[in-house]
Structure 1
Amino acid sequence: MREGSLDAPTRHIIDWNNPEFYDEQKLDDELRRVFDICHGCRRCFNLCDSFPRLFDLIDASETEELDSVASEDFKPVVDACTLCDMCFMTKCPYVPPHEFNLDFPHLMLRYRAVEKKNGKDKFVSRELSKTDRNGKLAAPVAPLANWATKTSNGMTRGIMEATLGIDKNAALPKYQSKTLVARAKESPLEINKDAPAYGRKAVIYATCFGNYNNPATGEATRKVFAKNGIETEVVYPGCCGMPQMEQGDLAGVVENAKKVSAELSSWIDKGYDVIALVSSCALMLKFEWPLLAPDDATIEKLSKATFDVAEYVMEFAKKEGMAEGMQPIGDSMAMHLACHARAQNMGAKGAEVLRLIPEAKITVVERCSGHGGSWGIMKGNYKTALKVGKPAARTALKSNAKYIASECPLAAEHLMQGIETLETEGTDGKTALHPIELLAKSYGL
């Protein structure tokens, strides 16, 4: 039997409609099989907190082997997994098609799906995952909502920590009074017909975060695309379901997938490419949805037509070329490669985008920021999340970069908080931008 696979990682269909998927004894058997392999390998000790928890659990047991660890003690290991996929994509030598057939993140997902089926999912996390509802409720009172969730508001954040378990120091996303979809309708853009990429058409999938929380990324994308001759439309049929997936709500994810894919499919039929503004959402559309609904032809069609926004910029940059007009904006930039961008197996597209900017010198930050979706903002996890993200924060800080960029908006915010813990002077008011925003800045847009 060989040590590690020589082939590219491949993933199996998530058989969530099979009753055996929820069989607790079969689940426990698989947990023990996988955990024992991890115990003998330990290459993932420094990726996230799941593996240190697992290894400490085994080392502290009576026999220092998995056989003396109680199954009920597995839960903290599962809870610490953020579904970042980095163990699967970058570290584990035993992923399929290796005969060990090890997919740690999807096993953690199965555990959570069993919890969900048994009514053991957490109320606060479940409510936080309802991003469309939360965005619609917060938009009319956005200034009030943002005031209440500011880390400097000791009164409201203290109450949130005591009642909801959200750490009072964790930065929370801001809400906007006007969505990206509404802004796009109000502000049509003139298409540059002299650009090399003129003739392309792209429908921008706003994503819940891009629509309700950070429309700046979408606005920058529209402007850069128009400058490069690309006609765009902005649509938002609903959330990609990543927050529900983190909670093990696989039925909810598939329900969202069918709704979103049905609308986006009509744009594909009209010759549009599909662009996702957030790397986690691109990952869902391209890879996770087809694994959850393998027999849905519409979802499969969407998967093949979807691009991450940085990936799409490089697609037309390499094939047709970029429109003229970019100017230097500072020679030093730190580019954080988000875990869910790396999990798309498309290369370091964010860094490639920044290298299009004249005179740009890029420091690539490849380590996880530690955020992990809703996991990293909870009181019991926030300090651990900062610890996990400290190598990334340290690399970004040492670069002395004028600009810090990340493809994931939540990772970007958390990365800046990590930098503040290392060096408070000069970090106030700084933000990490999406690389498409820096490209827009270079164009003077």
Structure 2
Amino acid sequence: MREGSLEAPTRHPLDWQNPDFTDPEKLDAELRRVFDICHGCRRCFNLCDSFPRLFDLVDASPTGELDEVKSADFKPVVDACTLCDMCYMTKCPYVPPHEFNLDFPHLMLRYRMAERQAGTSGVGFAARQLTETDRNGKLAGIVAPIANWASKTDNTLTRPLLEKATGIDRAADLPKFHGRTFVSRAKGEVPAVNAEAPAFGRKAALYATCFVNYNNPDIGAAARAVLARNGVATEVVYPGCCGMPQLEQGDIARVADKARKVAAAMKPWIDQGHDIVALTPSCALMLKFEWPLILPGDADVRRLADATFDITEYVVDIARKEGIAPGMQALPGGVALHLACHARAQNMGAKGAEMLRLMPGAAVSVIERCSGHGGSWGVMKGNFETALKVGKPAARQAAKSGKQFLASECPLAGTHLKQGIERLEGDVPEIELVAHPILLMARAYGLA
């Protein structure tokens, strides 16, 4: 039998509509099979907190083996998984096509779906409401100044109340809301397309994503401006959230509904020759990889996956095929770029770094360690300090880089890393947080 595999990892569709998927006995048998292999390997000990929790359970058992670990004790292992996919994509030697057929993140997802069906997940009403990003974004946008004031970490009046009501740690930085969404901004701010650019003639529909739409429209504006400078005509489209927040809680049926809705809405744009460009890596991952595994027989979902690019991937594609438009100026000080886990999980290479290196004289240092944030997981009380611990090596690497800017393709990861840097011992250098590398490219073009 082989020890690991040298072949590229492949992923099987999620058989989530099969009753066996959530059958307690079959699920427990698969958990024990996988956990026993993980215990014997232990290559993922430093990726996230799931694996240390698993290995501690085994080591504390009377035999030092999995057979003496109670199934009821598996839950903390599952709860610590952030679905970052780094074990699957970068560490595990036993993923398909290896005969061991390990897919740790999707097994954790299976467990959460089973919990949800049984009503034992422990995910309360408040935690479920936090996943309603479209509703929350619209409501908070109406009262954005008040919402942003209430969410400030130094607000000793509201943050303890918010912690008690929602379970969000009072020390965790939270995204700000904008009263004017990216979609509404896009209607009145259409950048002029550079007809002299090598890529003139390309068309792209920008999938706004809930974060860019409600929390940071500047990312979308920068992407649109950079693409226009490179000759790409853009439209901004946002049928709804990709469902990543629901996926984290095991609500696969809800994700499938969102996938059908968004894929149907994007179909006319694909028919008209538009590329689909997602503005944050988690959403790109959903459109390109997770949705086709959840709905493998849906032609619209498959077509959307084939047409979708991450924004950094798309800019690099332009540079490789047509050439990048001139006019960028060097940005002094250099960039420490965190490669977001969900960008790495797209199996496209370090496109964020490749994009930044298109800028003249760009000094880019790459951070390939997890930030520890893990979507909504890292802001919750009980998880926040663990998230900072997981992200400490990346925060330390950013602080020691000597760069002026810190950027991440995942804006939440960037904010979390900045908090981690602020907690480092000793003299901590000043480093400017930039929400997304596309903002730096827009700045180099003089567009932001």
Please confirm whether the aligned pair reaches a TM-score higher than 0.5, indicating the same fold.
Answer: yes
**Corresponding position: 1:113 with 2:113:** yes
Residue 286 of structure 1 corresponds to 288
Q: Which amino acid aligns with 2:16?
A: W
**Corresponding position: 1:221 with 2:217:** no
SS at match of 1:350: helix
Residue 68 of structure 2 corresponds to 68
Q: Deviations over 1:107-126 (max 9, x none)?
A: 00000001111123312321
SS at match of 2:13: coil
1:361 Cα deviation after fit: 1.0
- Kindly report structure 1 stretches of 4+ aligned residues shifted beyond 6 Å: 424-429
Is the contact made by 1:279 and 1:341 (CA closer than 8 Å) also made in structure 2? Answer: yes
Residue 351 of structure 1 corresponds to 353
Structure 2 Cα separation of the partners of residues 224 and 383 of structure 1 = 37
Q: Counterparts in 2 of 1:282-361, with a 5 A limit? A: 282-361=284-363
Percent of pairs with identical residues: 66
Is the contact made by 1:420 and 1:427 (CA closer than 8 Å) also made in structure 2? Answer: no
SS at match of 1:10: coil
RMSD of equivalent CA atoms: 1.2
Q: Deviations over 1:52-107 (max 9, x none)?
A: 00000111111111111110000000000000000000000000000000000000
Q: Deviations over 1:123-182 (max 9, x none)?
A: 232111111111111110011011111101012111122232211100111111000000
1:4 Cα deviation after fit: 0.1
**Corresponding position: 1:187 with 2:189:** yes
Is the contact made by 2:421 and 2:428 (CA closer than 8 Å) also made in structure 1? Answer: no
SS at match of 2:286: helix
Residue 439 of structure 1 corresponds to 441
Is the contact made by 1:125 and 1:247 (CA closer than 8 Å) also made in structure 2? Answer: no
Residue 32 of structure 1 corresponds to 32
Q: Which of residues 221, 233, 236 in structure 1 aligns to 2:235?
A: 233
Q: Which amino acid aligns with 1:31?
A: L
Residue 45 of structure 1 corresponds to 45
Give the number of equivalent residue pairs: 445
Q: Which amino acid aligns with 1:131?
A: T
Is the contact made by 1:371 and 1:414 (CA closer than 8 Å) also made in structure 2? Answer: yes
Is the contact made by 1:204 and 1:235 (CA closer than 8 Å) also made in structure 2? Answer: yes
1:430 Cα deviation after fit: 3.8
Q: Deviations over 1:177-222 (max 9, x none)?
A: 0000000001121111000000000000000001001111100001
Q: Counterparts in 2 of 1:145-156, with a 5 A limit? A: 145-156=147-158
**Corresponding position: 1:379 with 2:390:** no
Structure 2 residues not aligned, in runs of 5+: none
Structure 1 Cα separation of the partners of residues 137 and 334 of structure 2 = 35
Q: TM-score, normalised by structure 2?
A: 0.98
Structure 2 Cα separation of the partners of residues 331 and 320 of structure 1 = 29
Q: Which of residues 109, 134, 142 in structure 2 aligns to 1:132?
A: 134
1:424 Cα deviation after fit: 8.2
Q: Which of residues 166, 178, 195 in structure 2 aligns to 1:164?
A: 166
Is the contact made by 1:416 and 1:432 (CA closer than 8 Å) also made in structure 2? Answer: no
Residue 14 of structure 2 corresponds to 14
Q: Which amino acid aligns with 2:119?
A: G
Q: TM-score, normalised by structure 1?
A: 0.98
